Structure 1
């Protein structure tokens, strides 16, 4: 696939209209952060419960959590009426040219798998400046101009390669405790990257973590919204987290991301604004719940789906 002119479509990859955004979920909403952790929900239980909660679309989650044989994974999904919408990789392009091989090795695994199951998106999360496991500071929390240039160039290179090799679109995910988190940083990232190869997975919770206005961003940069993660942050605790410089690892463990409608932003208006851009964009519920009891996620996932479909008519299952 070498005709890069074909990528000049809507950032979500629209091929037709629909009544609203496709609502899905992710292993993260079941507390899954790692491929193998005995405290996490087993993968087959996650699939059973995602289907029982009423979702049809799921993300892959950390590579190795779900089966990596494409035929087996297709069978497991198909038997439950589930489809795969995206995979996830992690990058650190601001650190230098040696980060390319690390990113591409992940892409070969993840994009190579999800593309065989029909997924068209790869959510790309930048390395955090502070460890999401220990809260330890690993590097400066801001980038200089040279690092910004390396970051942008690396993502454009990755986005082009993903499209040419797999027909997969890169969706960049700003994140708490990463170098791209505030509104100013997200806008700078968009300004320095090529919309043909790099667009935004707008995570409503992580963007609100630093005071970002998701609805405002959708209105300001509609051409750069390619994918959504739906979550809410607890506004009653957020300023304490920021004032006391609490790490993302600790804030997440303490439940800073909360079940809707207990947080911000309101999800209905964001869904409706994005549906007006492109009704083929995915909106994936992704509530950070790592460390939760294995019985906690299913009822929350069920109630969250019910809330979303009650607060907007521009949501659909498939």
Structure 2
């Protein structure tokens, strides 16, 4: 797998995770620290189906989508909704997602040990690269991840702009109080956004082992990149998640690789530093993310400096 190809694959998966994080933030204003564990939940769904039923991870994508969606929905109904009804602060809700993330980490860790015992194969640490194959000289994971992204974006566009529910969903995102007055069931839109967030994360997690080795704590590592992608693009915009996902995904992979050529492979361990540096620079220059920049003013300023 070439360096650029691997970078695009990683960026594709990061976009899925960032879109999910952004959806839940827009509808409930909660930064979901469990998004990384949602992805690893999907990874272990794929591993379980492979070990117990011989189902290839690519074939397992629809199952991961449904089960991941159920996890996202359960997170909202069991953890967040009771707190929202009590008028809990955003900080309290954020801490609740962090606590939920730690609970999921414990559950996934225990399950990985159990799966390893009943299958007599490694469950705590695994990778799917040996299952991949090529189509016309291109790795299947590159094609599959790209198709998944294309289908997801097309589906979101049709949902948000071509259906009545999508209009209601956008209304509840922009102004929940006004949408409720207009008859929109804001609760349903929140439940749907959490379902979709979990579903997209689980699909990304299903494909992630083709890119890197997975352990139960991998979610705690990738959450850095997920937040960086969402914030750099613009945490309140789905388009921002798309843009930020590719910026962070490609930068993290390609810059780290170039640094490893000069400084040695030990640099690869610190790939998340690239994401954090880009995040800090973005917050200093454009606190609302790239989509929040007034590009007309920027262009006028550039024109004035040239003249």
TM-score (norm 2): 0.27
Larger RCO: 1 or 2 (CA < 8 Å, sep 6+): 2
TM-score (norm 1): 0.26
Higher percent of residues as helix = 2
Name the larger-Rg structure.
Answer: 2
